[in-house]
Amino acid sequence: MRKEEWRRLTGILLEILAVAAAYYAAARIGLLLRVVVEGAVVTALWLPTGVAVAALLWFGPRIWPGIALGTYLSIQHLGSFQVTDAGILVGNTVAPLCAYLLLRRVDFRTDITRLRDGLALVFLGGLLPMLLSATIGTGVLLATGDLAPDDFLPVWSAWWAGDAMGVLVVTPLLLVLTRVRMPHDAYRIAEAAALAVGTGFVALAASRSSLSLLFLVFPLLIWAAVRFQLPGSAPCVLVLSVVVIWAATDRAGPFEGHTLFEVMVNLQALNGSAALTALLLSALVTEQNNIREEIERVCEDLAEVVERLAPRGPGD
């Protein structure tokens, strides 16, 4: 019994360390596109929140120390960890835990095959619980004097949007990775490759053009959601978000000549609309496909029953 318990504890410890490493790696990547809003460092897409929520859905709440450790390492990367930073650490740990509890409360399925799963992930996994991390984080900055009261709202809104976008963009992608299967049809493979390359090219061209052409990416996202559902649309949304955030931080294309607050609002509106379109449309199409398959199975079973019950002639 002791040996089995030791193995179980070792497994949990390895899971915690793996989550901490993934959280920290995602933070390092996310900070490459960071911006400074009123003296506070924020990102338009905070990848670690998506990693944290996905890890909780996979392993359960026992891996929360990994999220806390990853947050600590991320703060340490920006500067020496202060006692007041403990509030930010708590907020970044509690928010994903609340997201996990809310999703479990509504019987969320990690395969996101129902429209209700997509809606739950948007509102109960992203928008609602990330209010905690944004409020606690900006509250700590305000209490320590690192943030002026007049700057609270811009920093809070950017913080909240970045954390929520991490869940909307990264969590679906991680959840579908475990069930992605390479298509056997060469045409489907070519179509998927064309979608990925086309999304990156259109996003790059539109985000670097002075014309307002960012809406051109939505037909590609709809195409990906209808043809490949979440395994196809989730990577496209990630590519779009990274390319557009890169252009926004460079103040290129449609983001040129605007204040930082205006850039963040436009950027989050685009990323949020893209994530919602891909996630909800993918879930809706998947749900409809499952319903059609279930109806077809029922019809086949009914046809077999009718065939057995049908009266047979003398020669049968």
pLDDT digits (tens, 9 = 90+) for 87-121: 889 999 999 999 999 999 999 988 888 888 888 99
pLDDT of 23 > 90? The answer is yes
Tokens of 108: 């969320």
Average pLDDT over residues 143-147: 80
Residue with the larger pLDDT of the pair 310 and 216: 216
pLDDT band at 40 (very low <50, low <70, confident <90, very high): low
Average predicted confidence (pLDDT) for the chain: 84
So what's the pLDDT on residue 5?
75
Q: How many CA atoms lie within 13 A of 83 on its CB side?
A: 2
Q: Which residue has the tokens 């949020």?
A: 272
pLDDT digits (tens, 9 = 90+) for 269-296: 888 888 888 888 888 888 888 888 888 8
Residues in Cβ contact with 12 at an 8 Å cutoff, skipping those fewer than 6 apart: 62, 63
Looking at the chain, list the stretches that DSSP marks H as alpha helix, in order from N- to C-terminal side: 2-30, 47-59, 64-78, 85-105, 115-120, 130-143, 152-177, 186-208, 217-249, 260-309
So what's the pLDDT on residue 51?
94
Q: In this structure, what are the phi and psi dihedrals at residue 9, rounded to the nearest 5 degrees?
A: -65, -40
So what's the pLDDT on residue 59?
92
Instruction: Please give the C-alpha separations between residue 245 and each of 33, 98, 183, 268, in angstroms, as whole numbers.
Output: 7, 27, 31, 9
So what's the pLDDT on residue 103?
94
pLDDT digits (tens, 9 = 90+) for 182-194: 767 778 888 888 8
pLDDT digits (tens, 9 = 90+) for 152-184: 888 888 888 889 888 988 999 898 887 777 767
So what's the pLDDT on residue 38?
59
Residue with the larger pLDDT of the pair 37 and 99: 99
Average pLDDT over residues 225-236: 86
So what's the pLDDT on residue 292?
84
pTM, two decimal places: 0.85
Dist. CA 294–CA 241, nearest whole Å? 36
Instruction: Please give the C-alpha separations between residue 270 and each of 27, 73, 87, in angstroms, as whole numbers.
Output: 22, 30, 30
Share of the chain above pLDDT 90, in %: 20
Tokens of 26: 């995602």
So what's the pLDDT on residue 293?
82
pLDDT band at 313 (very low <50, low <70, confident <90, very high): low
pLDDT band at 228 (very low <50, low <70, confident <90, very high): confident
pLDDT of 39 > 70? The answer is no
